[in-house]
Amino acid sequence: MHITKLPTDPAARAAAYGDRAFTLDVLARTLWGEARGEGRDGMRGVANTILNRAARPGWWGRSVAEICLKPWQFSCWLDSDPNRVKLLAADGRDRSYATALSVSVDALAGILPDYTFGATHYHALDCAPAWARGRTPCVVIGRHAFYNDID
């Protein structure tokens, strides 16, 4: 088996794989990094949030990859995240990554139903970000609360 080392820099990945493959790669890694312990349903919720942001371009970006890589939006991409090395090394041998890739294919094909009722934000239940104060989640999927009323 030949294993090719993947570029770790997102710009290098884009140049190596082209936009479509780059977007699929970034989305799958984001789902894996944010929800690998949540299974397919949790990954779908995170994917929905990203797609809902892409449908309403704003400060968070315009494209799926730009939204995923926007600084401070998805903690899995932070240089300080202790799992970042694992995120960049994940591949199809990891069952959770294979699930993330499958969900990403459906999301980018436009066949993923929105399980989050239009949510553009979410957080883990064990943290309480300031932006969620006084808000009621529109849905809770696994250990994530999703919100569709935040600009």
Taking the domains of the chain in order of start, what are their residue ranges? 10-114
- Give Cβ neighbours of residue 114 (< 8 Å, ≥ 6 apart): 48, 51, 52
Sequence letter at residue 35: A
The SS3 assignment for 98 reads: helix
Q: What does residue 97 show for φ and ψ, rounded to 5 degrees?
A: -70, -40
7 pLDDT above the threshold of 70: no
Q: Give the residue, 9 or 143, on which the prediction is more confident.
A: 143
CA dist 128 and 130 (Å) reads: 6
> What's the predicted TM-score (pTM) here?
0.86
Query: Of the given ranges (7-16, 22-31, 69-78, 110-119), which has the lowest mean pLDDT?
Result: 7-16
3-state helix, strand, coil in the chain (%, to 5): 50, 10, 40
Look at 145 and 13; give whichever has higher pLDDT: 145
Q: How confident is the model at residue 9 (pLDDT cuts 50, 70, 90)?
A: low
Neighbours of 20 (CB within 10 A): 9
Half-sphere exposure of 108 (CA within 13 A, CB side): 20
- Mean pLDDT, rounded, for 37-46: 97
Mean pLDDT in the chain?
Answer: 88
Q: Which tens digits make up the pLDDT trace of 61-88?
A: 889 999 999 999 999 998 898 888 888 9
